[in-house]
Every structure is written in C-alpha cells, then in structure tokens.
Amino acid sequence: MEILGIDIGGSGIKGALVDVKEGTLATERHRIPTPQPSTPDAVAGTVAEVCRHFRWTGPIGCTFPAVVKKGVVHSAANVDESWIGANGRTLLKKATGCPVRLLNDADAAGIAEMRFGAGRGRKGVIFVLTLGTGIGSAVFVGGSLLPNTELGHLPFTCVSGGTMVDAEDFASDRIRQEQDLDWQAWGERVNQVLGLLESLFSPDLFIIGGGVSKKYRKFFPLLTTQADTVPAQMRNEAGIIGAAMAAKSLLKKKS
C-alpha cells in the first residue's frame, strides 16, 4: 500500500511515495525549495507541485513545523507568521485536489520511529527528540502519541549565567554550528536539556534524531540520563514516512 508523504520544512519541501506496510520509501524523494516568503498560498502551491510530480490523486500525509489541531495551524516556527490561524488542511486539499492529513513535523517523525525504528517494541514513556534547526519533540505514552508537545520551546535557564532561553536556542544543532561549539561543550548542553526533561517527565527512553544523530558517538558518552538514550534509525526519511502512515485513516474516507 502506497501513500504520498510530504515533509514541509523551512528550507525545503520534499515528498515521496511510501510503502506504509514496510515503512520504506517506494520512490526517490523529490525536493523543492520552500518559497520565500513561505506564505500559506505559496507553500500550498509548492506542495501541489510535489503532488503533480508523482501524478498522485490519493490521500496525502503532510508534516508542518508548528502546532496543528484539526488541520488548523496555531504557531509558526521557520515559516511565515501568516500561517497562524490558517486552516492548512483545507488549503492543501484545495491546492492538490486530494484528501490531506496535516500534522506536526516532529510528531510525524516520532510515528515512524516508534513503528519502524528505535522505538519499535519499546514500552513506557518515550521521547523522540530531533536536534536540528530547532528541537522537535514527540512524546509517546504506552504507544499513544501526545501531540504538539513542542518541547524545544520549553523555557530553559542556562546553568552558566542564569539566562532564560528556549531549549532549542541553547542546545539545537543550529546553535552548535552558529557558536562553533566543540562536541564536549555542545554535548554538555544537550545533557542539561535532557536532564530538565527527565526531572519533569521521568521518561523511560530518549530517541535522539535529526541529522546530527549520525554522529551520536561524539556526544552520547557525555549524556548522564537515567533513561536509556539511543540514536534514531529512520534518519531524514522519518517525517515523510510518518506523515504517510498518519494519512492511512483517509483511505476509509471520501474526503
């Protein structure tokens, strides 16, 4: 069974047909740069381009870097603020002519990771964190998703200096690169954020994703969490696969 999965990001919009039974891409990814400014109409037009590339007429699962409730966007991280309050699901459905499931990007990645990746068969409270431009989060309790957690925006007091910042402005991979932090310094920051999350939620497992997870051996030895901490397995395909999986329910609906 194949479904089109599309991952909307701040710099690129990419999609592929997904074998949702196997959790693998059935085609090569097709990527188009995110339009600037990334207004709702401009992004919807680009999503429609991706859809036409695959000559797709069925259900679409689509990620978005924001809080999404019943298809309506309630925040805007790395996209134009005009998205706030927009009914993204209706907009994308109109642009593509296809039924659409719209969901938070980290939630989509988490769905894929739990079904086919590092979370497969694991029980308890599981946090999937993506370390990239920001810090995305997906939280699962007993296998069920708690949507739209957005823990990268959790107010965080730096141990050194006492300055209050968002967690992602302290320990994202973007900050590592912008501030030219070595692995030791950055790993200690990641450890502080994980420590705060652990003190608040007592998770059983942290799954660390994002592109930097490929280099997990450089900073995992610095992490001191009581919970197990493992690298994600689905890599850059997680959002596309998770979005397609989330759209499976649309197969039973006419719109």
pLDDT computed for residue 252 by the predictor: 64
Quote the pLDDT of residue 155. Answer: 87
What three-state secondary structure class fits 141?
strand
H or E, element range at 171: helix 168-171
Residue-wise pLDDT for 103-128, tens only, equals 999 999 999 999 999 999 999 999 99
Check for a shared fold between 2-105+237-252 and 118-233.
yes
Whole-number pLDDT of residue 160? 62
Q: 160, exposed or middle or buried, with CB in 10 Å at 0-12, 13-18, 19+? A: exposed
What pLDDT score was predicted for residue 236?
85
- The closest alpha carbon to 153, from 137, 174, 177, belongs to 137
Q: What is residue 255's predicted lDDT score, i.e. its pLDDT? A: 42
pTM, entire model: 0.93
Low-confidence residues in the chain, pLDDT < 70: 158-161, 252-255
**Cα radius of gyration rounded to whole Å, the chain:** 18
- pLDDT at position 190, please? 97
> Does CATH number 3.30.420.40 belong to domain 118-233?
yes
Domain boundaries, the chain: 2-105+237-252, 118-233
**Which class would CATH give 2-105+237-252?**
alpha beta
For 4, the enclosing helix (H) or strand (E) is: strand 2-8
- Give the pLDDT of residue 253: 54
Q: How many CB atoms lie within 10 A of CB 236?
A: 15
